[in-house]
């Protein structure tokens, strides 16, 4: 993550310098204002997506994730991942944190590849718009052309990156957190 921050910092500084040269501090300020407006519009979604991923990590046992979505789940995990991708609402602020959360909890890379491919190609939230704008024939042809991509991507991703694990220092604990005895109605 630190490398990404360094690269984005360099790009930001370069663009700010270019904006300053072309239009002075007024243009720099306008550009930063546009960025803040985008942040304000996406902040709620980002906060909720990370809240969902954190809650999933403490509520779902890693053993359950590994059983259903882990490398040993095979085709079942790949198909569940693809279907979950098709059903996940929202954009990358939602589905990337979810993908990382389930991966850190034990989902295999095949499942992650099929999840991301399923989101990109089978997104059911886009289906009504696709039908409205392009009609049933083009929609059917597009679906027929892409129907095998998420499972195949899942299979290949699992084969090529099966042993990949996220960086240990970046991963939060995936162990379910036990509620305090008082919260469970027990006496300490």
Average pLDDT, the chain: 86
Residue 167 pLDDT: 52
The pLDDT tens digits for 123-157 are 999 999 999 999 999 999 999 999 999 999 999 99
In whole angstroms, what separates CA 187 from the centre of its chain?
40
pLDDT single digits (tens) 37-52: 988 888 888 888 888 8
56 has a pLDDT exceeding 90: no
Phi-psi region of 164 (alpha: psi -120 to 50; beta: other; left: phi over 0): beta
Place of tokens 């899942």: 154
* Element spanning 184, H or E: none
DSSP letter string, 145-170: HHTTHHHHHHHHHHHHHTT----TTT
pLDDT tens sequence across 4-39: 899 999 999 999 999 999 999 999 999 999 999 988
Alpha-carbon gap, residue 48 to 169, rounded angstroms: 23
Determine what percent of the chain is predicted with pLDDT higher than 70.
86
């Amino acid at each position: 993550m630190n490398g990404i921050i360094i690269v984005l910092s360099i790009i930001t500084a370069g663009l700010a310098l270019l904006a300053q040269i072309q239009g002075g501090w007024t243009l720099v300020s306008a550009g930063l204002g546009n960025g803040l407006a985008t942040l304000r519009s996406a902040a709620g979604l980002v906060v909720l997506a990370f809240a969902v991923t954190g809650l999933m990590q403490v509520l779902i046992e890693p053993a359950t994730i590994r059983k259903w979505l882990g490398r040993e789940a095979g085709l079942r995990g790949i198909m569940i991942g693809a279907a979950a991708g098709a059903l996940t609402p929202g954009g990358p602020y939602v589905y990337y944190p979810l993908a990382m959360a389930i991966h850190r909890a034990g989902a295999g890379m095949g499942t992650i590849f099929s999840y991301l491919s399923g989101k990109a190609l089978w997104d059911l939230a886009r289906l009504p718009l696709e039908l409205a704008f392009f009609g049933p024939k083009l929609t059917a042809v597009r679906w027929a052309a892409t129907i095998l991509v998420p499972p195949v991507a899942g299979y290949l991703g699992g084969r090529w990156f099966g042993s990949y694990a996220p960086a240990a220092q970046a991963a939060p604990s995936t162990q379910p957190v036990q509620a305090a005895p008082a919260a469970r109605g027990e006496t300490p």
